[in-house]
Structure 1
Amino acid sequence: MWSTIFRSSVTGKTRWYWRSLFTMQLKSSEFQVLFTDGLNELAETFKKNQYELRIAGGAVRDLLSGKQPEDVDFATTATPDEMKRMFQAAGIRMINNKGEKHGTITARLHNENFEVTTLRVDVQTDGRHAEVEFTTDWQKDAERRDLTINSMFLGLDGTLYDYFKGYEDLQNRKVRFVGSAEQRIQEDYLRILRYFRFYGKVAPKPDEHELQTLEAIRANSSGLAAISGERIWVELKKIVIGHHAAQLLEMMYSLGLARYIGLPSEGNVDEMKRVWQNVKGHSPKAMTILAALCRRSEEIERMDLRLKVSKEEKTLALFLVKYRQDLCKNGDQQDGLKTFTDFILDSRELDTRMKVSELLKYQGEHALLAELGQWTVPRFPISGHDLRKMGITTGKEIGATLQKLRNIWKKSHYQMDKEELLSYVQS
């Protein structure tokens, strides 16, 4: 380990930080599994051309936590042009050139895609986007990243390169910004939400935030107003279904974030906390929790305008706000699930069963939720053809008779067969 002092002046303000390089060797099974034929060939290509290649970002964090990363990103000292020349000379196919302006080249080897990004430094930022320059300095690239636990690199020989005590923070389950929290936030205001997302992912307790971090978030909360709704929604969804979601949402309200990210300004935080307790451990959808903040459907509409949620997400939230009281109150204690299964059978929408499941989670009806999971949708045994054979020919009469028989069938708990039901027509 060695240490030094460095100076940063990305935003025009010169700041000094203490920085240390920590290294160690990783030889875990999760790390070894990464070495497919494709990665071995990629590594050999970079080595042959004398460019460094390391694993970067979230994959390093996952590997150090003993998890198998879902996605693996790579960083390199080679520029995009140098990578293209190198890959072309080696006969390696390149795809998805959209990332090239940001320094990313995607190579395809042995039916695998490998995203490799040139080391960068921010030369100018506006809180949403950054103008970057390429560099060969690993420390400078680490400095521009958001959180210490996301700023580490892992060499393909298993050597960890940690410049900002990310490994120590990961071991202690701490979430901290690299250097100045205020500076990191002002480079990209979405990092406020990323902080809360990773806090829910890493921290063991809901209330161990550093005071200076919270103050930096409060002071810069208005910066989120300029961030697109789509980007906010991606982060917010992950916060809501992560650990400590109720406490984190309450904290976000106390710091003044709600009005900038599409949440109701006077959200029903107490109801949300109640619902969070109900849904824990039952894989709720994000909107099931956020709907609890909304007292009226108009608040769902405003949330959609800001966040651009999907049609399915919006209709689920509207459903929960509309039926969270009435449908559950109408349930018969003796009939148990029947009120809800009748509702599903009467609905013309394909996703009603999913919505009812989320409603049961919302209200903490865990026994009914388990019962619904085992329930098979029964088939109504009567068709219009059956009625026409009995001499009922007009569409209006067929429709009215089918509805009458359907109600009888529902009252029998869906047990009556065709003959029994048709006997009501004959009578």
Structure 2
Amino acid sequence: MWSRLLSRRVIGRTANCWRSLSTMQLKTSEFRSLFSDGLTELAEVFEKHQHELRIAGGAVRDLLSGKRPEDVDFATTATPEEMKDMFQKAGIRMINNKGEQHGTITARLHNESFEVTTLRVDFQTDGRHAKVKFTTDWQKDSERRDLTINSMFLGLDGMLYDYFKGYEDLQNHKVRFVGSADQRIQEDYLRILRYFRFYGRVALEPDSHEPETLVAIRENGRGLAGISGERIWVELKKMVVNNHGAHLMELVYSLELAQYIGLPPDGNVEEVKRVWQITKDHSPKPMTILAALFRRPEEVEKMDIRLKVSREEKTLALFLVKNRRELCKSKDEPDSLKPFTDFIIDSRELDTQSKVCELLKYQGEEKLLAELSRWSVPRFPISGHDLRRMGITSGKEIGTTLQKLRDIWKKSVYQMEKDELLSYVKL
């Protein structure tokens, strides 16, 4: 994947760690595949005006891991005003420049959007937001990022610029904060959950955290109370379905974070561990795992007030809490899917089959899950119009008769057709 190490040199010392610059050149197909007509033209504009342009952050981490990144962010020495001037002169359209105060300009070339952000340093933070000033110092911008594996830059010639041993940590499956964990967390308390999320993506072992990192998380956990529920939910739902999701939820409780992020203080962690283990190979929805925490529907309501989850996510949690014990396979016919298909047939909600699939994941019913995933909801062949044509005019009687016929149809495993069912109608 890599050419040889080109150079490595110590260039300075911060208050908390030595900074060193590692450079090496990336020559992978994933990297080369990024070079569309749009990126090539963008690079030419920056080169013409003698401003540096590099790939930044998560995209570098993904490329170093042999993955083609879904999103690519760019960093530059050019200020927002300089970028706007460059793009206007080149006839490049700019869109959605809401992030300009933080240094981000979005250029649109060849039906592609490119977010380019000026190098910056945080000069004032409150644990949620930061006021920034622009810089041309790549090291300073790297120093303000959260984790070493997210602090690297990649030149468009494939040259890696790594100031905090991010590539070494990636190779060793280590997740560490840049410099002081305490300081990085206090700049933005959401970084606690980002640390957990990336730990699940990178670490091989469930419990190989640096002790000082966990101490910093515990001591700063109350700062999460000031973070919006929407931001917390974005991180939390990625975390629980990741590798080590059960271990990370256990940490949330042992480090006393649950109370600050909308989770029940006495959440059923053992149930989460059980459900995570049996669902992890079946692509569970995040709420399917989190539902294991809740002992009562009221706890779901409290969680929703704090995290503002979607209506679909909330109803799934309530469905699982209510039905995980009530809706089970038949004791007489343990391999029968019928109790679940009957439930779906009787439901008036369009997404009931999806919810029941999540319930079967929760219950560890792999065979029934596979069967239900292939099953299509049959159409009940009788309507009120059919009964009216037979002379039944009372709305109440029509409703009662339809229900009786539906019960007969279900007992036939949905096989009876219209004429046979109508023969049961007594006029």
Verify the 8 A CA contact 2:335 2:368 in the aligned structure 1. no
1:406 partner letter: R
What is the distance in 2 between the residues matched to 1:17 and 1:245?
A: 30
Q: Deviation at 1:5?
A: 2.6
Structure 1: 4+ residue segments shifted above 2 A: 4-7, 329-335
Please report the RMSD computed on the Cα atoms of aligned residues, expressed in angstroms: 1.1
Per the alignment, residue 378 of structure 1 pairs with 378
What is the distance in 2 between the residues matched to 1:195 and 1:233?
A: 14
Q: Among the aligned pairs, what percent are the same residue?
A: 77
Tell me the matched-pair count.
420
2:125 partner letter: T
Q: Deviation at 1:104?
A: 0.2
What is the distance in 2 between the residues matched to 1:251 and 1:355?
A: 28
Is the counterpart of residue 5 in structure 1 residue 18 in structure 2?
no
What is the distance in 2 between the residues matched to 1:185 and 1:331?
A: 52
Per the alignment, residue 70 of structure 2 pairs with 70
Is the counterpart of residue 123 in structure 1 residue 123 in structure 2?
yes
Per the alignment, residue 88 of structure 1 pairs with 88
What is the distance in 2 between the residues matched to 1:40 and 1:334?
A: 61
Verify the 8 A CA contact 1:119 1:134 in the aligned structure 2. yes
C-alpha change, 1:345 and 1:331, in structure 2 (3 Å) is: farther
Q: Deviation at 1:384?
A: 1.4
Verify the 8 A CA contact 2:329 2:337 in the aligned structure 1. no
Verify the 8 A CA contact 1:5 1:17 in the aligned structure 2. no
Per the alignment, residue 257 of structure 2 pairs with 257
Alignment of 1:7-406 (within 5 A): 7=14, 15-328=15-328, 332-333=332-333, 336-406=336-406
1:32 partner letter: R
What TM-score results when the alignment is normalised by the length of structure 1?
Answer: 0.97
Unaligned runs of 5+ in 2: 1-7
1:164 partner letter: F
State the SS of the aligned residue for 2:313: helix
Q: Deviation at 1:333?
A: 2.2
What is the distance in 1 between the residues matched to 2:330 and 2:231?
A: 39
Verify the 8 A CA contact 1:149 1:169 in the aligned structure 2. yes
State the SS of the aligned residue for 2:328: helix
Q: Deviation at 1:383?
A: 1.3
C-alpha change, 1:390 and 1:201, in structure 2 (3 Å) is: same
What is the distance in 2 between the residues matched to 1:333 and 1:232?
A: 43
Q: Deviation at 1:329?
A: 6.1
Verify the 8 A CA contact 1:56 1:73 in the aligned structure 2. yes
What is the distance in 2 between the residues matched to 1:34 and 1:343?
A: 49
Verify the 8 A CA contact 2:152 2:163 in the aligned structure 1. yes
1:145 partner letter: R
What is the distance in 2 between the residues matched to 1:256 and 1:393?
A: 63
What TM-score results when the alignment is normalised by the length of structure 2?
Answer: 0.97
Deviations 1:69-106 (A, max 9, x none): 00000000000000000000000000001011110000
State the SS of the aligned residue for 2:116: strand
State the SS of the aligned residue for 2:22: strand
What is the distance in 2 between the residues matched to 1:297 and 1:310?
A: 16
Bigger mean CA deviation after superposition, 80-89 or 383-392: 383-392
Q: Deviation at 1:4?
A: 2.8
Verify the 8 A CA contact 1:5 1:16 in the aligned structure 2. no
1:150 partner letter: N
What is the distance in 2 between the residues matched to 1:335 and 1:384?
A: 34
Verify the 8 A CA contact 2:378 2:414 in the aligned structure 1. yes
1:271 partner letter: E
Q: Deviation at 1:228?
A: 0.6
C-alpha change, 1:346 and 1:16, in structure 2 (3 Å) is: closer
Unaligned runs of 5+ in 1: 8-14
Verify the 8 A CA contact 1:332 1:339 in the aligned structure 2. no
